[in-house]
Amino acid sequence: MNMNRKDFLRKIQELEFAVIELNLFLDTHPSHQQALADYNRLTQELMNAKIMYERQYGPLTNFGYAPSQYPWQWALTPWPWEDDYECKEDMACGYMKKS
């Protein structure tokens, strides 16, 4: 998969949104088998997509949810409100491209 960062993130947003919707439905319908099957299928796709994304662009969650390359990617990779998606620490991430 050779998408740029923005397109890859969009794919994850689509998958995660569907998973959230199914999560809410299951909260009030815990014994709905079809919904649960769909939730598990999409969750697997989402987890795989996140692993690939994080390998390339850094972690989406911290507190032990994903490992980090050196230097500490969590702080240095772009934050959600930064639409220009450029890394703030030239020295630390000279290898990261502007998407």
Partner 1 sequence: MWIYEKKLEYPVKVSSCNPILASLIIEQFGGADGELAAALRYLTQVWTMPIPQAKAILTDIGTEELAHWEIIGTMVYQLVKDLPESKIEGTPFAAHFANHGKSPYPHDASGVPFTATYFNAKGDPIADIYENMAAEQKARATYEHLINLSDDPGVTDALRFLREREIVHFQRFGETARLLQEYMDSKRFY
Partner 2 sequence: MHPIPHHPNSPVNMPNPIPNPMAMPIYNLPPEIQLARAYIPDQPYDRLFPLNEALNKGTLFPNLYQPYMKKRK
User: Which positions lie near partner 1, rule CB under 8 A?
Assistant: 9-10, 12-13, 16-17, 20-21, 23-25, 27-30, 59-63, 65, 74, 77, 79-81, 83
User: What is the C-alpha separation between 87 and 38, in angstroms, rounded?
Assistant: 36
Dihedrals phi, psi of 15, to nearest 5 degrees: -65, -45
14 touching partner 2, by CB under 8 A: yes
42 in Cβ contact with 18 (< 8 Å): yes
Question: Of the ranges 26-34, 57-65, 73-81, 83-91, which one interacts with partner 2 (CB under 8 A)?
Answer: 26-34
86 in Cβ contact with 78 (< 8 Å): yes
What's the CA dihedral at 73, 76, 79, 83 to 10 degrees?
Answer: -120
- Give min distance, CB of 94 to partner 2, in A: 33
Question: Of the ranges 17-25, 50-58, 64-72, 82-90, which one interacts with partner 2 (CB under 8 A)?
Answer: 17-25
- Give min distance, CB of 33 to partner 2, in A: 10
